[in-house]
Each structure stands twice: as C-alpha cells, then as structure tokens.
C-alpha cells in the first residue's frame, strides 16, 4: 500500500482511497462543501485543495488518489506522496474560496435557519477573512418554492450541486437541475415539475448552507438550542437510524416549558439506511400530530369514557382481570412496541398462564429508489411497523392469529391498537395506547402510553438488526412508558418485579430470548444509566 505523509503524520493509503479519506482517518479535517460520501465526486467547490509535493497546482483532496511510486522515485526515501493540508499556500486558497463564496452570499445569518450548523459560517470563522473586499452590488435572486415542502433561498446557494446529484443519483427523480451559467447559475426545477418525491427531505440535510430550507422547520427554532438524541424511525420495518433534534420551548402565555421534537434527521448507518431517510419517517411526527393523543387514563363509566387517575384506572383494570380466571385473559403484544415491552408482556402472560398473541402491523405502499449510480437502493418497506419481527421473536410467536386467540376470552389487554379489527368486543377491553381510534373508543380502560420519542428500547428491523432508540423528550400528559405500565399491572397481580430502567429489562430479555443471546448489552445501551426512567411501584 502506498505510504503518504499528510502534514506530519504517516498514513497508509488504499489503492483507490482519496487523500481526503486518508486524512480523515488520522484526524485531519479538510474543509469541503461539494463532497459527500454517498454522492459522485465533482471536486468543484475547491475548498478541499491541498498542497501535494511535486504537483504543479494545488489538488482537490476529495478526488486525488495516490499511486505507488517505484522504489527509486519515493519522496524522502519512503513516501509515495507528501501532502500539506495547512501550509500557507493552502490557507491562501481556502481564504480565497471563502471570499469568492461570500461575494454574493447574503449575510442574513440572524434570520437563516442554518445558522449554527452552516458550513459557510463555520469555515468563514475558521479559514476566512474578517472583512469583505467586495464593494459592488450583490446579486440577489429571489427565493423559490420548489415543491410541497422545500424552499430554495437562491441567494444563499454556493453551487455545491449536492442536491442536484442527490436527485440524479439517489432518488433517481431528477427534479433539480442547474440553470443558467457562471455567476448566474441557479438550482431550479422545471416548470410544472416540482420537487416532490418521498426522499426530498434529504436535500435539506445535504445543503451545506441555508439555501434549501424545509417548510416544516422554517423559523421554528435555532439549532444551538437543540439537543440531539439517537433514535430509530418507527415508520416501517426498515429501521432507519435517525437523530431527534429536540428543544424545550415556552408555550405562548404559559410559564411551563414544553418538550418538542423539532426535526428528525437521518443518522449514518451503512448497513441500514446509509445517509438517508424517507419523508414518511421525517414527517412522521407531523402525521402523529393530526391524530388525537390519549393524555390521561380513561375508564368506561356508563357508555362514555371518563378521565380518571392512574390509581383508579389500574385498580379498575386489576379488578376486571382478577374477576375472571387467567385462562379467560389474553395479552396482545404489538409490532409498534419495543422488544423490551413485548418481552415483559410475554413474561406476564407466561407467569399467569393467559392467552398471548401479537397484533398485525399495517401494510401500505412500498417504494424503491434505485439508480445505476447508487450501490445501495433505498426501499420504503410496505410493513408500516418498526418491530413486527422483534415482537414475534420476543413473544415466541410465528404469526398473528388475533381472532382465534381472543375468541373465548373475557379480558383482553392490548399494547396499542393500530390496525386491529375486533370481530366481537370482549367483555373487558384494556388498551395501553397513545392515539384514539376505533378500538380505543370501545375500550373499557384506556392507559396512555408514551411514544417512541418519549421512551427507550430496541426495535428489530426486517433484517433482524436490533437497534436502540433513546428517550428524547418527556412523556406527554400523564402517559407512561408501556414497560412501566406492565410492571405496575404485574405488581398488582402479585408479581414482584423490579427494574430500575429499561436497560434492566433488556438485560433480562437478552438472557431469556434465544435469538438475542448474542446481543451485546453495552453496545446497545451505552448510556442506559442516564435514561432517568425510574420504575414506579
């Protein structure tokens, strides 16, 4: 392998590895705009220019590879290339590129949503000039509406063409193009052909400056206020890795601080979702907002559900369960609940000797984004639940036979109620769910459950990858994590369970579920002690 000296470090560089990657491996950050590991290299922003000894000009690190030199020609006797990423020549070039980029860039950082995570801002601080030498009038092209969810602030564009390459190479939809030439070049869509595909949200993440702005997020918050939490998208069985950006904000006219997930962004995972997520997942919480959330426990009084306290709701539930023999009770797991929650449900069912089943996930459209330039086709799965495989595994079930299981049962306890169609209502229906729907309307007891943003756990995706999601915000209203509700029900039924947090549940699950025996708890739960989910007994 060729040996390269980058600044003062010696690095072995692969045959087709770029200088940029080799430098990154040893911790040398080379600034860049147009480079993205998932897109074709165009080397057009010229920000990553480095000085390679022997080359007449500065070379772009993102596209330069190093061939092995014959022994006699090696530099300093052993190197195939000697590269400086920070000498005066390189610094001048970087300063010049930043000066050029800022000629026409509006300095509207105070009202730009990207401020704080903007590459132009960051690099200008790090490598740029303190003042502009441009005394002419800036070019101010108008903002464009590209489609249902994206604005293009044309004047902020630095023409890195990442978004154009994304639509050409990843989504394959090719809506975005460069129009005009030179200084007048702009990103645009064709008339009547808006940017409208299920992957379009990714161009906003790709934009290194605040040119592409998501309409859902515009003017909603400043990025330096955000807290980032690793999560998993529950939209389908693909299990895309995401980051939840949350912040506390003050509700109008109210003193209290409210937690809110401000946006969902993809998190790199090369085996699952690479660098992308689909818009179904990205705007998942927008869809949730349209549904009615169950905020407090309810108990049926007469023909209506009445709001009650947790203590009352639990005592009513226990009363109903104890009134019948355990054989007449069925516990129904959910493909929307985490492995840990399903595991606890299964454990309870086995201990009590009740019926056990899992409800079916919702099936919807599937769509695959595939181009010949992308080695990783992106598929939105038709199984619109994050954990069907995991639920079946932890509950040791092969398939859902809901109607059969609950046919002769008097008390049915359900985790969630998505897509459940009851042929006949059991005598007592207890639903632990988050949203109101046709099933919860029939329930005798409703226990409000926390969403995936409000609790932690693991999902097993369609390929069997067990992935951890973390609590990002506090549970809304009086809702609680399902595993906590189950622990409370179990203790009411005479079981003395003690779990300090969901990590304890996971530990026990890994010991008892054969398929998960090889999982490494430390890797899944590196921070489980900070989850702050105290068990309520």
Residues near other proteins, by CB under 8 A: 41-47, 49, 56-58, 60, 63, 89, 92-93, 96-97, 99-101, 103-104, 133-134, 136, 158-159, 161, 178, 180-185
Q: In whole angstroms, how far apart are CA 198 and each of 40, 156, 291, 299, 327?
A: 21, 25, 21, 40, 47
CB nearer to other proteins: give 45 or 199.
45
Write down the least CB distance from residue 97 to other proteins, Å: 5
Contact in structure between 226 and 472 (CB atoms under 8 Å): no
The token duo for 6 is 């980058």
The token duo for 119 is 């590459």
In the block, residue with structure tokens 């394959």 = 172
CB nearer to other proteins: give 73 or 181.
181
Write down the least CB distance from residue 130 to other proteins, Å: 16
CB nearer to other proteins: give 139 or 143.
139
- How deeply is 29 buried, as exposed, middle or buried, from its count of CB atoms within 10 A (0-12, 13-18, 19+)? exposed
What sign results for the dihedral spanned by CA atoms 491, 494, 499, 503? negative
- How deeply is 454 buried, as exposed, middle or buried, from its count of CB atoms within 10 A (0-12, 13-18, 19+)? buried
CB nearer to other proteins: give 89 or 327.
89
- How deeply is 24 buried, as exposed, middle or buried, from its count of CB atoms within 10 A (0-12, 13-18, 19+)? middle
Write down the least CB distance from residue 163 to other proteins, Å: 15
Write down the least CB distance from residue 3 to other proteins, Å: 21
Task: Tell me the CA end-to-end span of the chain in Å, nearest whole number.
Answer: 61
Cα–Cα dist 291/165, whole Å:
36
CB nearer to other proteins: give 134 or 363.
134
Give how far the C-alpha of residue 242 lies from the chain's centroid of Cα atoms, to the nearest Å: 1
Write down the least CB distance from residue 124 to other proteins, Å: 13
Q: SS3 of 374, please? A: coil
CB nearer to other proteins: give 119 or 471.
119
- Beta-bridge partners for 368: 379
Which residues, 6+ apart, have CB-to-CB distance to 537 below 8 Å? Answer: 487, 488, 491, 498
CB nearer to other proteins: give 94 or 284.
94
Write down the least CB distance from residue 33 to other proteins, Å: 8
Cα–Cα dist 458/466, whole Å:
6
**CA nearest to 100, candidates 143, 133, 62:** 133
CB nearer to other proteins: give 166 or 336.
166
CB nearer to other proteins: give 46 or 143.
46
Number of CB atoms found within 10 A of residue 27's CB:
7
Helices (H), 2-87: 19-25
Write down the least CB distance from residue 419 to other proteins, Å: 47
CB nearer to other proteins: give 32 or 226.
32
CB nearer to other proteins: give 163 or 411.
163
Number of CB atoms found within 10 A of residue 369's CB:
20
Which residues, 6+ apart, have CB-to-CB distance to 459 below 8 Å? Answer: 232, 234, 239, 338, 339, 386, 387, 390, 466, 467, 469
Write down the least CB distance from residue 385 to other proteins, Å: 42
Q: In whole angstroms, how far apart are CA 476 and each of 10, 189, 284, 338?
A: 53, 40, 17, 18
Cα–Cα dist 233/238, whole Å:
8
What sign results for the dihedral spanned by CA atoms 414, 418, 423, 428? positive
Cα–Cα dist 190/40, whole Å:
23
Write down the least CB distance from residue 341 to other proteins, Å: 52
Write down the least CB distance from residue 196 to other proteins, Å: 23
Write down the least CB distance from residue 172 to other proteins, Å: 16
Contact in structure between 214 and 279 (CB atoms under 8 Å): no
Write down the least CB distance from residue 358 to other proteins, Å: 51
Q: In whole angstroms, how far apart are CA 163 and each of 174, 182, 331, 369?
A: 10, 18, 48, 16
CB nearer to other proteins: give 178 or 441.
178
DSSP β-ladder status, 329-333 and 411-415: parallel
CB nearer to other proteins: give 2 or 386.
2
Write down the least CB distance from residue 193 to other proteins, Å: 17
């Amino acid at each position: 392998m060729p040996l390269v000296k980058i600044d003062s470090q010696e690095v072995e560089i692969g045959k087709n590895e770029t200088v940029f990657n080799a430098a990154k491996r040893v911790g040398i950050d080379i600034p860049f705009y147009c480079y993205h590991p998932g897109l074709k290299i165009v080397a057009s922003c010229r920000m990553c220019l480095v000085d390679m000894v022997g080359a007449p000009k500065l070379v772009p690190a993102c596209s330069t590879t190093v061939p092995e030199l014959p022994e006699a020609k090696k530099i300093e006797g052993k190197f195939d290339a000697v590269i400086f990423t920070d000498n005066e020549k390189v610094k001048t070039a970087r300063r010049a590129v930043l000066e050029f980029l800022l000629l026409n860039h509006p300095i509207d950082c105070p009202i730009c949503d990207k401020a704080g995570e903007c590459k132009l801002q960051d690099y200008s601080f790090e490598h740029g000039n303190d003042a502009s030498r441009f005394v002419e009038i800036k070019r101010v092209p108008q903002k464009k509406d590209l489609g249902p969810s994206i604005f293009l602030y044309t004047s902020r564009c630095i023409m890195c063409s990442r978004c154009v390459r994304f639509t050409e190479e990843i989504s394959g939809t090719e809506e975005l193009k460069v129009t005009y030439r030179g200084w007048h070049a702009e990103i645009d869509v064709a008339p009547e052909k808006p940017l409208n595909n299920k992957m379009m949200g990714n161009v906003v993440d790709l934009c290194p400056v605040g040119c592409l702005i998501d309409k859902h997020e515009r003017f909603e918050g400043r990025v330096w206020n955000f807290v980032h939490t690793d999560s998993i998208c529950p939209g389908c069985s693909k299990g895309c890795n995401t980051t939840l950006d949350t912040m506390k904000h003050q509700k109008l006219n109210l003193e209290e601080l409210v937690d809110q997930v401000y946006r969902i962004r993809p998190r790199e995972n090369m085996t699952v979702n690479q660098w992308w997520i689909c818009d179904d997942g990205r705007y998942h919480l927008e869809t949730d907002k349209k549904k009615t959330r169950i905020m407090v426990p309810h108990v049926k009084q007469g023909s209506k559900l009445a709001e009650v306290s947790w203590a009352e709701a639990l005592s009513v539930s226990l009363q109903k369960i104890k009134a019948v023999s355990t054989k007449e009770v069925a516990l129904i797991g959910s493909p929307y609940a985490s492995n840990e929650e399903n595991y606890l449900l299964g454990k309870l069912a086995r201990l009590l000797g009740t019926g056990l089943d899992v409800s079916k996930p919702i099936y919807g459209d599937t769509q695959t984004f595939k181009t010949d330039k992308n080695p990783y086709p992106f598929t939105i799965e038709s199984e619109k639940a994050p954990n069907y495989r995991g639920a079946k595994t932890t509950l040791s079930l092969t398939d859902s036979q809901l109607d059969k299981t609950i046919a002769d049962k008097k008390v049915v306890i359900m985790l969630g109620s998505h897509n459940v169609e009851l042929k006949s209502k059991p005598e007592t229906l207890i639903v632990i769910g988050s949203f109101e729907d046709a099933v919860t309307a029939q329930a005798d007891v409703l226990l409000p459950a926390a969403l995936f943003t409000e609790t932690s756990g693991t999902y097993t995706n369609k390929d069997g990858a067990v992935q951890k999601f973390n609590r990002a915000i506090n549970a809304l209203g009086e809702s609680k994590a399902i595993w906590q509700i189950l622990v409370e029900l179990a203790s009411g039924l005479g079981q003395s369970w003690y779990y300090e947090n969901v990590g304890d549940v996971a530990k026990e699950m890994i010991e008892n579920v054969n398929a998960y025996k090889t999982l490494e708890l430390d890797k899944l739960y590196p921070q489980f002690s900070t989850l702050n989910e105290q068990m309520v007994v």
